[in-house]
């Protein structure tokens, strides 16, 4: 019998036409070459990851919990870890409980699950323009419409928010990264936070506050979270929150643990649990126990100051190198924390077309068009400063300036 060739292409579900490999993750494969200075990924510095602490914590967990640490676990996550997160996330005047927390495989899975339970085809989602690429990828298969809110150095523009009422009256959700945004590095100012929270409540628009970078602040005071501002409007009741808050240990402990969370009213957590029981049952038990051990040992508090100091230094080196080499060709954001800044070239060169030349010169960045939902941003690029040693940052920016200037003149 002759085996016939089966064409799986013809069997893919319609929704897969909205799926594609992430430009950023594909680029990371090339950028991982040792000869490339990569500003492309959103990676923590490998040398700051808590290798020895994780080794000791793993031993301690296996000694203490034995097989329990390797067993199936609750879909919501390890109860003691949810307790820890609920204490950390409780805003002033509100007491969250473990029932308000779901632990996921990173913030990314949290966002995916939220999309699964909240979005229908045709829904409108307000997003900062530009915004986090993998959120767009996660939610596009649900056939939602992303409505871009223009952003400046203080975050999304509020004078354009009236169009939330008019043009986008049926917007269901607003997704925001208020601290050291990905990709722009900007932070939503406190007055704008207050207004966003109030207006979204008034207009029945739920807020997804994604805050992976809030702990990485290098200067100034932290404004209150949208979650805290909304809680103040409902006397701290977690069950009445209009804000669902997403967090992660990826940028502070280690991304390889794949641990993130959602803080939400119980009815939302319950729906997320239903979705995740049909997806992956629960987050890896061993990872959760290791993270809890690290947190109880105080690893996070001990290590965060050194992480902040090093990343602040790397940011400053990048800003200084940009001023020295790229001032004639571009402008850029000045982040007060986080891992990224966004460069806008003065000329209308496409940074996607610039990238192959940059790779030839031994540097990588992410072309900014992929973060924009309105077709703009072709002359922007995202630079990560946390994952490259300072001397390589300075050299990389010098090379970037050479590539930009040669393409601009030619």
The residue ranges that bind ligand PLP (CB under 6 A) are 42, 106-108, 132, 177, 182, 210, 212, 248, 250, 255, 260
- We find the least distance from the C-beta atom of residue 262 to ligand PLP, in angstroms, to be 11
Q: What are phi and psi of 163, to 5 degrees?
A: -70, -10
Q: How far, in Å, CA of 170 to CA of 375, rounded?
A: 22
- We find the least distance from the C-beta atom of residue 277 to ligand PLP, in angstroms, to be 20
Nearer to ligand PLP, 138 or 164 (CB): 138
Nearer to ligand PLP, 210 or 230 (CB): 210
Nearer to ligand PLP, 118 or 403 (CB): 118
Nearer to ligand PLP, 114 or 404 (CB): 114
- We find the least distance from the C-beta atom of residue 210 to ligand PLP, in angstroms, to be 5
> Are the C-beta atoms of residues 71 and 46 closer than 8 Å to each other?
no
Nearer to ligand PLP, 285 or 404 (CB): 285
List, edge to edge, every strand of the sheet that includes 101-104.
101-104, 260-263, 243-248, 206-210, 171-176, 124-129, 145-152, 155-156
Nearer to ligand PLP, 184 or 351 (CB): 184
- We find the least distance from the C-beta atom of residue 339 to ligand PLP, in angstroms, to be 8
Q: How far, in Å, CA of 359 to CA of 36, rounded?
A: 7
Any idea what DSSP says for residue 38?
E
- We find the least distance from the C-beta atom of residue 260 to ligand PLP, in angstroms, to be 4
Nearer to ligand PLP, 133 or 330 (CB): 133
Nearer to ligand PLP, 42 or 223 (CB): 42
Query: In the bound complex, which residue of the shown chain has the CB atom lying closest to ligand PLP?
Result: 106
CA distances from 172 to 30, 124, 161 (A): 38, 6, 14
- We find the least distance from the C-beta atom of residue 134 to ligand PLP, in angstroms, to be 6
CA dihedral in degrees (276, 108, 297, 66; nearest 10)?
40
Q: What are phi and psi of 360, to 5 degrees?
A: -60, -35
In order, the DSSP letters of 124-174 are: EEEEEES--HHHHHHHGGGT-EEEEEEEETTEE-STTTHHHHTTTTTEEEE
- We find the least distance from the C-beta atom of residue 125 to ligand PLP, in angstroms, to be 15
Q: How far, in Å, CA of 128 to CA of 206, rounded?
A: 15
- We find the least distance from the C-beta atom of residue 303 to ligand PLP, in angstroms, to be 17
CB-CB neighbours of 15 under 10 Å: 12
Q: What are phi and psi of 248, to 5 degrees?
A: -160, 155
Nearer to ligand PLP, 132 or 329 (CB): 132
Q: What are phi and psi of 262, to 5 degrees?
A: -125, 135
- We find the least distance from the C-beta atom of residue 41 to ligand PLP, in angstroms, to be 8
Tokens of 312: 């602040």
């Amino acid at each position: 019998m002759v085996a016939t060739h089966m064409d799986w292409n013809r069997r893919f579900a319609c929704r897969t036409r909205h799926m594609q490999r992430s430009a950023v993750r594909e680029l990371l494969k090339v950028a991982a070459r040792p000869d490339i200075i990569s500003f492309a990924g959103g990676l923590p510095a490998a040398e700051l990851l808590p290798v020895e602490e994780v080794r000791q914590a793993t031993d301690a967990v296996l000694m203490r919990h034995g097989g329990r640490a390797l067993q199936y676990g609750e879909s919501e996550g390890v109860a003691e870890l949810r307790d820890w997160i609920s204490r950390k996330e409780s805003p002033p005047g509100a007491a969250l409980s473990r029932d308000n927390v779901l632990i996921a495989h990173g913030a990314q899975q949290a966002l995916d699950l939220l999309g699964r339970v909240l979005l229908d085809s045709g829904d409108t989602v307000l997003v900062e323009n530009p915004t986090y690429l993998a959120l767009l990828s996660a939610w596009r298969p649900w056939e939602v419409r992303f409505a871009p809110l223009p952003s400046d150095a203080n975050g999304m523009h509020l004078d354009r928010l009236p169009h939330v009422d008019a043009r986008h009256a049926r917007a269901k959700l607003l997704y925001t990264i208020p601290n050291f945004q990905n990709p722009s590095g900007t932070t939503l100012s406190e007055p704008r936070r207050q207004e966003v929270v109030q207006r979204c409540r008034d207009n029945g628009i739920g807020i997804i506050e994604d805050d992976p970078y809030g702990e990485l602040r290098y200067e100034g005071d932290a404004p209150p979270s949208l979650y805290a501002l909304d809680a103040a409007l409902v006397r701290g009741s977690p069950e009445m929150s209009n804000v669902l808050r997403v967090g992660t240990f990826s940028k502070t402990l280690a991304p390889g643990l794949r641990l993130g969370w959602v803080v939400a009213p119980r009815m939302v957590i319950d729906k997320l649990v239903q979705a995740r029981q049909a997806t992956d049952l629960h987050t890896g038990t061993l990872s959760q126990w290791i993270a809890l051990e690290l947190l109880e040992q105080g690893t996070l508090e001990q290590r965060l100051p050194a992480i902040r100091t090093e990343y602040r230094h790397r940011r400053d080196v990048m800003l200084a190198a940009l001023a020295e080499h790229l001032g004639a060709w571009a402008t850029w954001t000045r982040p007060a924390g986080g891992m990224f800044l966004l460069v806008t070239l003065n000329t209308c060169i496409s940074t996607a077309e610039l990238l192959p030349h940059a790779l030839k010169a031994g540097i990588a960045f992410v072309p900014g068009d992929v973060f924009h939902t309105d077709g703009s941003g072709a002359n922007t690029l995202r630079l990560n400063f946390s994952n490259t040693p300072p001397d390589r940052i300075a050299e990389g920016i010098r090379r970037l300036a050479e590539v930009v200037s040669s393409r601009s003149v030619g």
